[in-house]
Amino acid sequence: MTQPHNYDFDYFVIGAGSGGVRSSRIAATLGAKVGIAEYKDIGGTCVNVGCVPKKIMAYAADYHGHFEDAKGYGWDVKAPKNLDWGTFITRKDAEIKRLNGIYDGLLEKAGVTYYSGHASLKDPHTIQIDNTVVTADKILIATGGTPRKDMIPGAEHTLTSDEIFHLKQQPEHILIIGGGYVAVEFAHIFHGMGSKVSLCYRGDLFLRGFDDDIRETLKEEMIKQGIDLHFNCDLAGVEKDQDTLLARMSSGKTVECDTILSAIGRVPNTQGLNLDEVGVDLCPNGQIKIGDNFQTSVPNIYALGDVANKVPLTPVATAEGQSLAYHLFADKQSADISYENIATAVFSQPPIATVGYSEHEAEGLGHEITVFKTRFRSMKYILAERDEKILMKLVVCKKTDKVLGVHMIGLDAPEIMQGFAVALNAGATKADFDRTIGIHPTSAEEFVTMK
Ligand code: NDP
């Protein structure tokens, strides 16, 4: 058997997304000889077809409201009718290229050897990247996921989030299928940019798993904005007639549009890795099964990020990648990270941010709770005459006084929530919130004055 010191690399990472890049970079700075392979653009989903271009598009969309709001403050502005789509896409793409370069530079500076190509495992210590074969002592699979495609008639006329960032033209009328993060975020993006938006979700109300008051508030706000919402229905088929798409819904309704975004979740990227042959076990949903320290069923092979059976969020993958590198190459005892109180945001309009349990979840877990809620209009929107509400909510354990959940929908919610995640991780009680002096005048201060 080959001895570890005879391998080409101490650590080889498959997939240069958020988790893979962080893990390889930290491992190399800790002195390991590290290689990484990627067959698409460096940076993975987040940088190329996820968080970053999505946030840029959301910023672009927000301007629509800013122009309208400015009039209420006396600015002599007319909200422009059109966004110059070509200019916007060119500038967005240039920014993504800049970030690709930064990622590339980070790996190079850390001394990680980069392979551009599709990697697969030949055996537990051998990786083939196109025509190149290398060996490694430890291997990390951080290949992420891909949007799921529904197999309905006419599915070829629908797009996923991988394509939606590269549209040649702005849609006039887009139909969005799904009720998760991607669906509601793109509803905001295209509505803000001036497209007509319809959204179709198979259940009663989108954002399953989020607090019910938050979900209801988003629905009300989207209806006020004129977004065409269809619940309890699914896309049954699509027909194309020149530039027009005719979407047939399971409810019997039809929607005529020019673009359909299918945002019905993601599947893990395990195909073509030869995992079966090497003995890496998968979960029934196709994710790689991992145990302690991100170890797969093959002891020297690890997996993390969206391809593994944990929490599919970029900052989680990054934290996992870093923790694993310290475990493997700096003698950190455990690589496992805490999945408690991970704050998350949805860049809808209004935006949502949340940490901890929803009211429903807390009750389901047997907690006796007190709920504190406040609903008001942001001071910014009073002169602007924007009819948009903020909802803030605290879920508190009656027995321990611990704050179990903090939820917000409204202006700046994602920026506000990070600090509350720290408070919840530190075990803050409602009394701790109450003795904290607010920052005045802000919306955030309401969280420390709720009675
Ligand atoms: P999600 O898993 O969040 O949502 C998928 C949606 O599609 C759900 O509403 C689901 O319904 C629905 N769905 C699933 N299968 C079908 C089907 N066969 N037919 C119709 N509808 C279906 O996936 P997204 O694609 O929105 O996002 C993927 C992941 O990316 C998220 O889980 C999140 O982790 C991450 N992400 C994070 C963001 C952020 O942090 N801001 C932004 C974007 C993505 P149901 O609820 O009924 O199952």
- Whether ligand 1 lies within 6 angstroms of the CB of 14 is answered as no
User: pLDDT grade, residue 80 (50/70/90)?
Assistant: confident
pLDDT for residue 134 = 98
235 shares its domain with 298: no
* H-helix or E-strand spanning residue 60: helix 51-72
46, 184, 202: which to mutate for ligand 1, most atoms within 8 A of CB?
202
pLDDT of residue 5: 65
Which tokens sit at 450? Answer: 């709720």
Whether residues 14 and 125 share a domain: the answer is yes
Q: Which residues span the domain enclosing 122?
A: 9-67+72-147+267-329
**Rg of the chain over all Cα atoms, to the nearest angstrom:** 24
Residues 207 and 229 reside in one and the same domain = yes
Q: Is the pLDDT of residue 209 over 70?
A: yes
Read off the pLDDT of each residue in 275-300 and give the average, rounded to a whole number: 97
Q: Are 260 and 274 members of one domain?
A: no
440 classed as catalytic: yes
Closest atom, ligand 1, to C-alpha of 150? 18
Ligand 1 lined by 55 (C-beta under 6 Å): no
Q: Is the pTM of this model over 0.75?
A: yes
Residue 93 and residue 221 in one domain? no
Q: Assess whether the C-beta atom of 345 lies below 6 angstroms from ligand 1.
A: yes
- Phi, psi values for residue 125, rounded to 5°: -125, 5
pLDDT over 60 (residue 3): no
Q: What tokens does 187 get?
A: 């509803």
> Taking phi first (over 0 means left), then psi (-120 to 50 degrees means alpha), and beta for anything else, what does residue 226 get?
left
Confirm whether 60 is domain-assigned.
yes
pLDDT-derived band at 78 (thresholds 50, 70, 90) equals confident
Catalytic residue among 125, 173, 327, 440, which?
Answer: 440
CB atoms within 10 A of CB 232: 13
Q: What's the CATH number where 441 sits?
A: 3.30.390.30
Identify each DSSP E strand in 232-383 by its residue range.
235-241, 244-249, 254-257, 259-262, 266-268, 301-303, 344-346, 352-356, 369-377
281 and 212 in one domain?
A: no
User: Does 312 share its domain with 165?
Assistant: no
Q: Which of the listed residues 229, 235, 264, 285 should we mutate to test ligand 1's pocket, taking the one with most ligand atoms within 8 A of CB?
A: 264
CA of 180 to the centre of ligand 1 (A): 4
**Helices 51-72 and 181-193 meet at what angle, rounded to 10?**
40
Taking residues 363-372, what's their average pLDDT?
98
pLDDT mean over 26-40: 98
In the Cβ-directed half-sphere of 118, how many Cα atoms lie within 13 Å? 6
Q: Phi/psi at 134 (nearest 5 deg)?
A: -130, 165
Q: Do 54 and 121 belong together in one domain?
A: yes
Distance, in Å, from the CA atom of 66 to the CA atom of 28, rounded to the nearest integer, reads: 45
Tell whether 214 and 256 lie within a shared domain.
Answer: yes
Q: What is the CATH number of the domain that holds 109?
A: 3.50.50.60
Q: Report the domain count for the chain.
A: 3
Question: In this model, does residue 29 exceed pLDDT 70?
Answer: yes
CA of residue 182 to ligand 1 center, whole Å: 6
Q: 14 and 138 share a domain?
A: yes
Among 329, 353, 378, the domain boundary falls at: 329
The residue out of 221, 241, 264 marking a domain boundary is 264
**Ligand 1 neighbourhood includes 263 CB (under 6 angstroms):** yes
Mutation test of ligand 1: which of 159, 181, 251, 409 has the most ligand atoms closer than 8 Å to its C-beta?
181
User: 275 and 137, same structural domain?
Assistant: yes
At 2 the pLDDT is 42
Question: Could you tell me the two tokens for 39?
Answer: 């067959």
pLDDT surpassing 50 at residue 329 = yes
Residues 45 and 143 grouped into a single domain: yes
- Is 312 inside any structural domain? yes
Separation between Cα atoms, residue 351 and residue 287, nearest integer Å? 30
